[in-house]
Amino acid sequence: MNISIIFVLSLVGLATLFYVVVVRRDKTRERKAAWRHVVEAIEGTYQDTKIRGTHQGKSVEVFLNNGGYEIDIYSYFIRLKVPIQGFDWRVDFIAHSRTLEIRSDEEELKDKLAEAGLITLIQSVSGHPQVRYRADKGTIEYEMLVGDDSYVPSADEFQTQLNLLTQLAELNSKLNVW
């Protein structure tokens, strides 16, 4: 093997090692510092790429997810664990009409949620989140497109989002029964 090829491969290996050890570690440290208020709000810990903790006795997960295939499209998620009951529902932002819409296979549940002010509750937070209840997992989920992986909610935004999920959990427990 030619000595110049070995030299080039060695340089590539060293550059990769430098990136993994120095640059990536600095990004992780910066990211943890930026998310500290979220960790503290839910008395959480980092587990892989998620922050896990509790809020008012319920398990909470917070994370960013890259849902893009050819381009990066990041979503910000909060999942609040609640009892499994009733049926799935979700509220979507409809871009062309700039409205929120309740969706469920159960028409009676949609009507109950609408009458109880579900849309008004969701409009109390900034942005255009998708909110849903997953009966199969027992989770109330908050998802919002954020563009890139640098998004971090402010302490006030995060508290507002947690409060919304808590209110939705209470509403779900009262209205979404078999």
- Cβ of 149: how many Cβ atoms within 10 Å? 14
Cα 114 to Cα 28, 86, 89, 107: the distances in Å are 42, 16, 12, 11
Beta bridge partners of residue 89, listed in sequence order: 133
How far apart CA 64 and CA 144 sit, in angstroms, is 10
Domain annotation covers residue 166: yes
In a domain, 144, yes or no: yes
Give the CATH number, domain containing residue 131: 3.30.1460
The model's pTM: 0.81
In a domain, 2, yes or no: no
Structural domain includes residue 22: no
Answer whether residue 29 is part of any domain.
no
Q: Where are the alpha helices (DSSP H) in the chain?
A: 3-18, 24-34, 36-41, 107-115, 118-123, 155-175
What is the per-residue pLDDT for 39? 96
- How much of the chain is helix, strand and coil, in % rounded to 5? 40, 30, 30
Tens of pLDDT along 54-82? 999 999 999 999 987 788 889 999 999 99
Tens digit of pLDDT for each residue in 144-161? 999 889 999 999 999 999
β-strand pairing of 130-134 with 139-147: antiparallel
Q: Which pLDDT value is given to residue 115? A: 97
pLDDT tens string 23-49: 444 578 898 999 999 999 999 999 888
Number of independent structural domains in the chain = 1
Evaluate whether residue 12 is within a structural domain. no
Give the pLDDT confidence of 89-145 residue by residue, as tens digits: 999 988 888 899 999 999 999 999 999 999 999 998 988 899 999 999 999 999 999
- Look at residue 63 and tell me if it is in a domain: yes
| Residue span of the structural domain in which 46 resides | 35-175
C-alpha distances (whole Å) from 68 to each of 64, 75, 129, 174 are 12, 10, 18, 36
Contact 60, 79 (CB under 8 A): yes
What's the pLDDT at 104? 97
- 88 assigned to some structural domain: yes
pLDDT at 1: 58
Cα-based distances in Å from 15 to 5, 25, 29, 30:
15, 14, 20, 21
